[in-house]
Chain A
């Protein structure tokens, strides 16, 4: 094939994927490494890439320490209870103590943040959320990243990380191809910060056609954060912790501002409050420690998102759907009505399109809600991702190996969706994680940890051959048939994705089985997934460069899915009813499973090993002293 090989050499910090995490990394790296070579490789165009491409109407993680609103530990406790205890509190505390400085910079760069005219503080939507006019959130932070980076490579689909051949388990860069020219790109780098995205579209969506694009998380979030790290042999954590979202039906428009700011609420198809009646039974499954509506009412401790989902799902399955969002009261106020619409236009235009198409005026009609298909990601109300080191001054010994946000592969860092155990980071927290990773990466280099890296031309050639194989497969077998897409020698990426979505749905707790699975189902699913992977290896075909992109996205989604299966099988309990259920282990089991799950896939053999990692919780020194 006539594609050129383009080598970018001597990079210090390579940022793979420049959404909010990656832009934060590139921006900050320049400060700690004024003379370092900083390069960005981005699959799309950095001005509109990642989950924030479309904009946001709120920043969901802001402490307001400046205004005396919250301390970092308050946020840690919030994320802890929302995730049923399963979080990395060192990483969360670290993110929370820095996140405000990111937000204040955004404002200085021109991001319009709304102010509360009475208090002068940022306009709160909820305790952690502030309201913004964020249509240009991404282009603004992209400007900052571009200013710091030596080079930005747009339209590079990074497929693999390069590994050092002089020292085991050390990163050496990344490779990929340009989705426009088809050229092969090699980035040799001392450190890599993976800011790539989580995974949409690995579960069969509720939509049946075009609407498959209107997924909750962006369709271009192809699980590359996980695919790249898993392939490199990095340890992963909490990959079973997929998320299901209760959202406006079909359009998946956000509900945060509606609940928190507009004070709308839900009811069943008969106009009744339904949530509380499911709680006594649910309390028996998860224990009073995790679900105590009275205490929640008294102390404003939130009821975990998954448990509210559970009530929603049960109510619908009991035949009392649909669940409605009661908007007809709030929307009588023209100011609140306007906010309701702005909220969609700022971050989920498709929901506005849908309401316009179906004549749903929330002033006169309460719109329907639904629970989505599951998503695997690590920056919203869930914490899938890599097992990363925390910062020196916070982390217990099991959580610390030298460099903040470094994975278990040396020189390989994560930010945003890539880092596990840090839910509720959202946009600002992901950007902050990028900044933390960048500082640590520069220190890693300055400490001399990246000396003597060697990458053979054999490794580079092997990857090159691998990357273009789907094009070759197509070329060789295309003419075995007259026309069309049905070919006994290969499948195309769409066909592979359909198969993945179906098996994830049916065996790993998707929407058509009401999020239910068990050991038997998981084992069957794993077998089917292994065969899908074989078909990918032997017979995925790409007609053109665009399909080659889809083929590699599918590969990353398959790798992500395998980790989800392995983790779901390993954790023998139902920790998050409402996200998924292990039908054979329907109770939460703190005695055995108050732990984080950690996996590693051996890059040579593909074998998985699973282990439990201890959970450390922040406790008050004072309370602790009184208790003892």
Chain B
């Protein structure tokens, strides 16, 4: 099955159940630990793997085309703002790590509260502009593009 859960590591906390976009990580009633109830609806998206505080979840490639003996592991760290991967081939000849940033700002601090952005004026409401436009589109004083500003018009019929 695409994701699976190691018996000795899972403590049944349910983080994976909470995050799985496909609703397929459930808690087994007998073992009180998580498992993948529907492997053919698993996208191998790794959301549960990344969310597991016990590193208890791993992925074994789809049985209908992926042979056994490989490994793609991940650690995601919001505080440090990075994600680290390790890929090991089935034949062991390739074993490498890759690191990537996941954010450039301290997590969750850089998003404005639009309630405090000030109510838009009527002019703004009746224009075609969205929040923070046009300055977020262009650096100069230009306005939003229109048919007129760009010398265009709509014609019905066959044009290519």
Q: Mark B41-77, 1 if CB is under 8 A from A, else 0.
A: 1111111000000000001011111111111101010
Least CB distance from A75 to B in Å reads 11
> B83 contacts the other chain (Cβ, under 8 Å)?
yes
With A101-B130, A354-B65 already in contact, the answer to whether A213 and B39 are too (CB < 8 A) is: yes
Residue of A nearest to B126 (CB): A443
| A208: B residues at CB distance < 8 A | 64
B88: CB under 8 A from chain A? yes
Indicate if the CB atoms of A48 and B45 lie closer than 8 Å.
yes
A148 near B114 with CB under 8 A, answer: yes
Q: Which residues of B contact A219 (CB under 8 A)?
A: 22, 41-43
Chain B, interface residues (CB within 8 Å), range: 35 or more
Say yes or no: A211 contacts B147, CB within 8 Å.
no
Query: Does B89 reach chain A (CB closer than 8 Å)?
Result: yes
Contact A349 B45 (CB under 8 A): yes
- Contacts of A443 on B, CB cut-off 8 Å? 125
Q: Map CB proximity to B onto A372-407 as digits: 1 under 8 Å, 0 otherwise.
A: 000000000000000000011110100000000000
A617 touching B39, Cβ below 8 Å:
no
Assess whether B120 is in contact with A213, with CB atoms less than 8 Å apart: no
Given A66-B138, A349-B46, A353-B72: A622 and B151 within 8 A (CB)? yes
Return the chain A residue nearest B160 by Cβ: A289
B residues in contact with A210, CB < 8 Å: 1-2, 39-40, 42, 62-64
Q: Please state if A32 and B120 are interface contacts (CB–CB under 8 Å).
A: yes
Contact of A112 with B137 in the complex, beta carbons under 8 Å: no
* Contact indicator B70/A356 (Cβ below 8 Å): yes
Residue of A whose beta carbon sits closest to that of B116: A34
Q: How far is the CA of A446 from the CA of B61 in the complex (A)?
A: 52
B160 engages A290 (CB within 8 Å)? yes
Contact for A220 among B22, B37, B93, CB less than 8 A: B22
> Complex: how many Å from CA A561 to CA B47?
29
What A residues does B85 contact at CB under 8 A?
Answer: 345, 352
Let me know if A98 and B18 touch, CB within 8 A: no
- A31-B131, A54-B47 known; A356+B71 contact, CB < 8 A: yes
Q: Is A89 an interface residue (CB 8 A)?
A: yes
Q: Which of A65, A111, A213, A594 contacts B42 (CB 8 A)?
A: A213
A164 at interface, CB cutoff 8 A: no
**B30 / chain A contacts, CB cutoff of 8 Å:** none
Task: Give every chain A residue within 8 A of B136 (Cβ-Cβ).
Answer: 100-101, 104-105
In chain B between 89 and 128, which residues have their CB closer than 8 angstroms to a CB of chain A? 89-91, 93-94, 98, 100-105, 107-108, 110-115, 117, 119-120, 125, 128
Complex CA–CA separation, A71 to B151 (angstroms): 12
A294 CB within 8 Å of chain B: no
Assess the A218–B117 pair: CB atoms within 8 A.
Answer: no
The contact of B128 among A34, A65, A209, A391, by CB within 8 Å, is A391
Measured CB to CB, the closest approach of chain B to A612, in angstroms, equals 12
- Interface flag for A582 (CB, 8 Å): no
Structural contact, B93 and A53, CB atoms closer than 8 A:
no
Chain A stretch 84-120: residues in CB contact (< 8 A) with chain B: 85, 89-90, 93-94, 97-98, 100-101, 104-105, 107-112
Q: Is the CB of A31 within 8 A of B114?
A: yes
A361, CB-defined interface residue at 8 Å: yes
Q: How far is the CA of A127 from the CA of B91 in the complex (A)?
A: 39
Question: Which of B23, B112, B152 contacts A621, CB < 8 Å?
Answer: B152
CB contact under 8 A between A45 and B155, given known A54-B47, A213-B44: no
The answer to whether A358 and B100 touch (CB under 8 A), given A109-B105, A214-B62, A618-B152, is: no
CB neighbours of A109 from chain B (8 A): 105, 110-111
In contact, B144 and A359 (Cβ under 8 angstroms): no
8 A-B pairs with the lowest CB-CB distances in the bound complex, closest first? A110-B105, A101-B136, A350-B44, A211-B62, A356-B70, A54-B45, A209-B64, A617-B159
What is the bound-complex CA distance between A616 and B2, given in angstroms? 47
Chain A residues near B8 (CB-CB < 8 A)? none
